[in-house]
Amino acid sequence: MTKKELSQLYYLNREIGELQIRLGELECLATSCTAHITGMPRAYDISDKLSKYVAEIADLKSLLDLNLKKCFYELNRLNRYIQSVDDSEMRMILSLRYINGLSWNQVAASISICATEDSVRKAHDRFLKKSCPICPGEK
């Protein structure tokens, strides 16, 4: 498995986060443009804005649902791959990095008091190079 394949869960989670932020913004806009009952004649452009926001919210919710399904699929795929690794320390490194989304510094601190960011990253890179000989130049 390549670094790009391993990193898909991270990017899916970021994409989901961005969609959730956008959804929150749209819901806020939709609730702020509701009509106020004042006894005055009704303004028709308010409902047009509201229907536009409602349609956009529905689209975002379906996109968010699709990405959540992809995320669960990717998480299961990563877990299966990581569990197939023989070396328990490497399983821990892969899990902390790609499932928990930790930085190399955080992975090193979780692995050992003596481990450095560079040593953990290099061990990871050597493992990937050895397990995927057809993609030696990939970063």
Q: Which CATH architecture has domain 87-139?
A: Orthogonal Bundle (1.10)
User: Domain extents for the chain?
Assistant: 1-84, 87-139
In this prediction, residue 139 has a pLDDT band, given cuts at 50, 70 and 90, of very low
Indicate whether 90 pLDDT > 50: yes
Q: Is 5 exposed, middle or buried (0-12, 13-18, 19+ CB in 10 A)?
A: middle
State pTM to two decimals: 0.73
Contact predicate 102/7, CB 8 Å = no
Neighbouring CB atoms inside 10 A of 96's CB total 20
Contact predicate 70/12, CB 8 Å = yes
Indicate whether 46 pLDDT > 70: no
Note the pLDDT of residue 44: 55
Contact predicate 100/92, CB 8 Å = no
Contact predicate 68/9, CB 8 Å = no
